[in-house]
A and B are shown apart, each in its own frame.
Chain A
Amino acid sequence: MPMDIAGIGELIMFAVVSILTIVFSICVVAAKDIVRAALSLVVTLVSVAGIYVLLNAQFIGLVQILVYVGGIGVLILFAVMLTTQELKGGSDVE
């Protein structure tokens, strides 16, 4: 099937964004460092926003970034940092 350049570009973008979503959602559960897990969750949410934008739902995509990254992501990080007893360097073994 012949495809125009915009279609190919969209396909590549979709591949990139979905791979990012999958990889980073695995990172969320697999990461040893809890802060890195939280940050991976944030990247996952940004990639989901990218999928929304590719589906031509720009408004939902941007509200996703605004609410989930700017609001909830920051709150999660805040909560995570309040639960940890000390900074990573305290018990870090080199």
Chain B
Amino acid sequence: MNIVDIVYNPWFSGIVGLLLIGIVFVCAILAVWLERKFGADIQSRIGPNRVGGRYGILQGVADAIKLFTKEDLIPAKADRLLFVLAPIIVLGSGFMMIVAIPFGAIVIGDNVYPIAATQMDISVIYLEAVSALSVLGIFMAAYGSNNKYSMIAAFRNMARMIGYEVPLGVCIIGVAVMAQSLDIVVIAKAQSPLWFVFLQPIGFVVFFISILADMGRLPFDQNEAEEELVAGWGTEYSGLRWGLGLFGEYIHMVLGACLMVLLYLGGWNLPRFITDIFVLGSLMPIFWFVGKVTIIVFIIIMIRWALPRYRIDQVVNLGWKVLFPLSILNLIWAVALSLAFDMIFGA
């Protein structure tokens, strides 16, 4: 049996997809731990230090057990159907994103086998489309739980999402123009000598800010501003349902970091002299990719603990009046640059 037959077998890719979901879940638990421990370091606190040794590594597991064993509470006047479905949709949108993201690749000679559950021609559009589904889940949670704080949070979330999906999409179009494909694997491969962050610096900055807002990370977490809105859309949730929503957000964070690495920071690409050695070629691209994703996650967490929160009107203004024009500028720049490349190096 040829290796290509194995890679493109639907059963094989199904198993790969399930494994990736498990791995991303573990990564999200690690991200929660990292956020606590690293955030504590930044603020000169100690942070979790009891469960699992000095560094509290098992704190995430302890939290998960606590969430599992809590009482499952549904408010009396809640819309039960929407209340129950909402966290599933938030988490499901994250899982649907996992399907199309390649988490590194195995490079053997000239062949590149991305580690992804599916290969689509239009995976970037797919990713943006399914990531937009999570806002519906948050709205359903807020309306279903019949709570004014949740409702305000959902409004803020929707206003922010509408404002930041647009620059995000335009930035992705800029990248796609330069790579001449909407397939995220081709986009990652197209950055082999030069990362897109150097070719489109404006695009990278706009994409970074928009995806921070998209993930609802500080300074853009107006939808769960603790001081004003109790716990945002999750105010009425407890136990496992709240845990599902929380994990949905952290999975979005990890996947957003993956997207950033794949679209702008060169993906898994390494120079040929490294990947030509068989063992290094099959292992190093994955480590390289995961390493970059880890650094991005660190930066996102650092931003959270270093910056204050914006007001919602400031956030919406920033999205429509600054980031959107900048992303259009970046698109023009990307088209001009690719045309210039074509003129210089020939089609």
Contact = CB atoms under 8 A, between A and B. Distances in A.
User: Are chains A and B native binding partners rather than an unrelated pairing?
Assistant: yes
B128 interface: yes
Interface size class of B (residues with CB under 8 A): 20 to 34
A14 to B, nearest CB: 19
A58 B155 contact: no
A87 interface: yes
B90 interface: no
Interface in B130-151: 130, 132-133, 135-136, 139-140, 143, 146-148, 151
Contact of A89 (B77, B82, B162): B77
Nearest to B85: A39
B132 to A, nearest CB: 3
Given A65-B130, A66-B129, A88-B79, A74 B121 contact: no
Contact of B161 (A33, A39, A58, A74): A74
A63 interface: yes
A94 B77 contact: yes
B77 A92 contact: yes
B249 interface: no
A71 B140 contact: no
Contacts of B155: 78, 81
B125 A94 contact: no
B158 A35 contact: no
A20 interface: no
Contacts, number: 74
Nearest to B140: A39
Interface in B70-127: 76-77, 79, 82, 120-122, 125-126
B143 A35 contact: yes
B140 A70 contact: no
B165 interface: yes
Given A66-B129, A94-B76, A94-B77, A87 B146 contact: yes
A62 B126 contact: yes
A74 B157 CA distance: 10
Contacts of A63: 125, 129
A89 B146 contact: yes
A50 to B, nearest CB: 12
Contact of B136 (A58, A73, A87, A88): A73
Given A77-B139, A78-B155, A78-B158, 16 more contacts: A39-B82, A58-B122, A65-B129, A65-B130, A69-B132, A70-B135, A73-B136, A74-B139, A74-B162, A78-B162, A81-B155, A87-B148, A88-B77, A88-B143, A89-B77, A92-B77
A-B interface, 8 closest residue pairs, ranked by CB to CB distance from nearest: A70-B132, A65-B129, A66-B129, A89-B77, A89-B146, A62-B125, A62-B129, A74-B158
26 contacts: A36-B79, A39-B82, A58-B120, A59-B122, A59-B125, A62-B125, A62-B126, A63-B125, A63-B129, A65-B130, A65-B132, A66-B169, A69-B129, A69-B133, A70-B128, A70-B135, A71-B132, A71-B162, A71-B165, A73-B136, A74-B132, A81-B151, A87-B151, A88-B79, A92-B77, A94-B76
